[in-house]
Amino acid sequence: MRDFRITTHVCLIARALGANTVILSDIIDKEVEKVIKRVIEMWGGPFSIEMGVPWEDAVNKWKTEGGIVCHLTMYGENIETSDVMSRIKEEKKDIMVIVGAEKVEKKVYHLANFNVSIGNQPHSECGALAIFLDRYFKGESLSKDFENARLRIIPQPHGKKVIKIE
Amino acid sequence: MRDFRITTHVCLIARALGANTVILSDIIDKEVEKVIKRVIEMWGGPFSIEMGVPWEDAVNKWKTEGGIVCHLTMYGENIETSDVMSRIKEEKKDIMVIVGAEKVEKKVYHLANFNVSIGNQPHSECGALAIFLDRYFKGESLSKDFENARLRIIPQPHGKKVIKIE
Phi, psi (5° rounding) for residue B44?
A: 95, 175
Chain A residue closest in CA terms to B115: A157
What would the mean pLDDT of B20-24 be, rounded to a whole number?
A: 96
Which residues touch A106 (CB under 8 Å, ≥6 apart)?
none
Contact B77 A126 (CB under 8 A): no
pLDDT in tens, B41-96: 999 999 999 999 999 999 999 999 999 999 999 999 999 999 999 999 999 999 99
Q: Which of the pair, B104 or B115, is modelled with greater confidence?
A: B115
| pLDDT for the residue A4 | 65
Q: Check if the interface score ipTM surpasses 0.85.
A: yes
Which residues touch B107 (CB under 8 Å, ≥6 apart)?
B56
Closest partner CB to B127 (pick from A9, A153, A158): A9
The mean of the pLDDT values for chain B is 94
| pLDDT for the residue A102 | 61
Residues of chain A with pLDDT > 70: what percent?
A: 96
Closest partner CB to B123 (pick from A12, A123, A156): A12
| pLDDT for the residue A3 | 62
Model confidence at B2: pLDDT above 60: no
Positions in chain A short of pLDDT 70: 1-4, 101-102
As to burial, measured by CB atoms within 10 angstroms (0-12 exposed, 13-18 middle, 19+ buried), residue B89 is exposed
User: Which pTM value belongs to this model?
Assistant: 0.96
What would the mean pLDDT of B158-162 be, rounded to a whole number?
A: 95
Model confidence at B135: pLDDT above 90: yes
